[in-house]
Chain A
């Protein structure tokens, strides 16, 4: 008699959490539940056949006589040797060195046509058994373990002790963080030990729950939510204002759209890709908020919360192993140091990117993976790369649902194209790669995306592109320029900042290496991770596209991050993936300890490194209350058409009347040929800011953050130059002090031409 897997027989313990439990995939097999002390290691870690007793029987292991009764057909077939339906499974007896991988290249061990097996009548439910055991372990249905074996809800509550202690400690530590006292290491330089301990406790709590990832998904959700709040909410809780100048600029663009209700593409590039700002304008007006700055402080936390569900969809489409799902989610958040998730178009575009990938990987992957199937080129590529069907079951979808998913992907892409310049290219590369290897059934999607992109650039963004085309295309294929802008030029600044920069490189490079190791292990173990691998490597093509202001490498890191995290955790997972033979011979408890230690060290180091890497610029990004007060006073006084001059564009400005003022910086003067001396710069400012009929007075703004920026990042403006400039301007008869506090000084250009002469 053939018994179907005992799937879905057991109701979830916590019905209200079903959605999240679904997100993490089915529970791990009974074998793992039955050994709570060692959830990953059976008595023989490489003996995956224990999970599929029929395979044991077929492979010559006669210890499971009962199971051979359950799967008589397979047992009989196994005895037929090479032509049996089990030929995709290793036939060597399980032992310490046995590897759970396919011994043939066939992904689908169908009965040989030449030698039809006697089990031709075996019903389909047995098909999953006859696949490489490593992959079969992922497909294993949830077992019907007795309910009494599961920890009760109250028992699980003890796992809340560590996160609750962490958040309490974190809250008590916040008053001791004084942003003014930061050095060039950023926030970590003023973080008291309580904050470090809070992150440590949260990490420890996560590890404790991660060990039981199949049993308490809701606890993992709690830990990840707390990580998002504690890690990404730190500047908001300490500084209470948005960090960095960009959020202020985005607020100004939104305010301009609300005020003018039109799109003037001549203002700057933002107005050629205004989708995000238009949506934000709707939110601001509908919510009766004074400005978009209302959302600026907590936007980072908000966007990271929004990333979580699509990230889970992506991870769930790649694996059903809950440890791999949640481990990669944690690493994603703990390693996201590049700070591209604030109130900005790229954050919204990234949400669309994740959502699209989730939809494509879940609903538009081929169910049958015949290496020779599909179109000619795709078939060849699939054969060449040995692409096989996904290890995760693809849900059966109707034609309507498939069409609706494609339509939704097109809508998401259109919104991305309307909002951001770079992300549509990252998406396009990913979709083209998926289609090329036959991992996306919507073959016309890349063409449709190219048409949308071209239509937008031709009919909407032409105002910007026509004037900057040479600038946009000049960097295409110039790897030297890209390397210089993205890496060489970024390694500079103060001694402490250099440590931060090098630590960022180490963190990113280390994670990429770990991910590569994980990828190799997964492929060696027979997992069909081609889609994840191609989405991992795909964004690297962007490097040759443009320098993107020296930020391309950061964006590439961000686009790769979900897949980097996935493979990095896969590198640490034990048992089913072939590992070091010596490790396999260790007792189960020791092996489990080694894995827990490796996982703990990895996520602990990554989180600690992320705190330094992510908030390493915070000394410059922090805008003191005095700076805000000065800028508010300036905007209250400045008339439309005024010119604002600064040393460098690193201050909280442009958040209102964005289109009504003109902006100058000494830094841009110095970037040109024949950079002026401080005295010449003062003379140039005097000329440029001179009031004239129809042109109101101009202003020169000195702030703390501009000086800090020069100290931290170096560049063309040295602190010495800034000091000289400020002293000369103070003495100049053309300028009068308009506003001053401890953090900022504003000078107004007086009428007349005394100095300029």
Chain B
């Protein structure tokens, strides 16, 4: 797999796996492990590409903290908005992941053009 598809691939595969496990009614420990993976990796992996840090290690090191921060802040927003539920939170996170991936792809394309 080309490196530029690695992050989107991991995010989309993780999301698909979690959705599948939830839909199939598979419980702990698989669902718990997948949810933990999703919460720790997916939001951060979707957005770190936007930053244009130019250092793969720093990007990798940011994935988990950014993911946790995104999950925390969205949860806070939904709780204080009085609309928190696991489904709403999951939907919001999926939307953010998708938006992050699209933005990252656009930025990558823009950077490629600039370099060319």
Contact = CB atoms under 8 A, between A and B. Distances in A.
Interface of A: 18-20, 22-23, 257, 261-263, 274-276, 278-279, 281-283, 285-290, 294-295, 306, 309-310, 312-313, 316, 348, 351-352, 355, 358-359, 362-363, 395, 397-398, 400-401, 404-405, 408, 411-412, 414-415, 418-419, 460
Contact of B57 (A257, A288, A312): A312
Nearest to A278: B75
Given A22-B56, A285-B85, A286-B38, 11 more contacts: A22-B55, A261-B85, A275-B72, A278-B79, A279-B39, A281-B75, A282-B86, A287-B35, A288-B35, A397-B53, A412-B65
B interface, size bucket: 35 or more
Given A274-B79, A286-B38, A287-B36, A351 B68 contact: yes
Contacts of B76: 274-275, 278, 415, 418
A236 B63 CA distance: 26
Contacts of A411: 66, 69, 73
Nearest to A289: B32
A29 to B, nearest CB: 21
B65 A405 contact: no
B84 interface: yes
26 contacts: A20-B57, A262-B79, A275-B75, A279-B39, A282-B89, A283-B35, A285-B85, A285-B89, A286-B18, A286-B39, A287-B31, A287-B36, A288-B28, A309-B60, A310-B65, A316-B57, A352-B65, A358-B58, A359-B62, A362-B58, A397-B53, A401-B51, A404-B50, A405-B51, A412-B69, A414-B73
B68 to A, nearest CB: 6
B54 interface: yes
A355 B57 contact: no
A415 B34 CA distance: 23
A348 B55 CA distance: 24
B84 A278 contact: yes
B76 to A, nearest CB: 5
B11 interface: no
B78 to A, nearest CB: 8
Nearest to A285: B86
B62 to A, nearest CB: 7
Given A287-B36, A313-B57, A282 B65 contact: no
Nearest to B37: A287
Contact of B65 (A281, A283, A306): A306
Contact of B28 (A22, A263, A289, A395): A289
A348 B67 CA distance: 12
Contacts of A401: 51-54
A268 B39 CA distance: 27
B73 A22 contact: no
The 10 closest A-B pairs by CB, nearest first: A309-B61, A287-B35, A285-B86, A278-B75, A287-B32, A279-B72, A355-B65, A286-B35, A415-B69, A404-B51
A398 B84 contact: no
B89 A415 contact: no
Nearest to B21: A288
Contacts of A290: 28
Interface string B28-52: 1001111110110000000000111
B69 A19 contact: no
Contacts of A288: 22, 27-28, 31-32, 35
B72 A306 contact: no
Contact of A355 (B52, B62, B71): B62
Contacts of A278: 72, 75-76, 79, 84
Nearest to B39: A283
B57 A286 contact: no
Contacts of B52: 398, 400-401, 404
Contacts of A295: 36
Contacts of B75: 275, 278-279, 281-282
B31 A415 contact: no
A285 B74 CA distance: 15
A418 B53 contact: no
A316 B56 CA distance: 14
B97 interface: no
B31 to A, nearest CB: 5
A211 to B, nearest CB: 23
A542 to B, nearest CB: 22
B64 A279 contact: no
Given A287-B35, A395-B54, A279 B68 contact: yes
Contact of B69 (A257, A352, A397, A404): A352
A408 to B, nearest CB: 7
A419 B75 CA distance: 12
Interface string B84-102: 1110011000000000000
Contacts of A404: 50-52
A290 B89 CA distance: 18
A275 B73 CA distance: 7
A22 B57 contact: yes
B68 A348 contact: yes
Contacts of A415: 68-69, 72-73, 76
A355 B51 CA distance: 15
Nearest to A20: B57
A400 B85 CA distance: 35
Contacts of B35: 283, 286-288
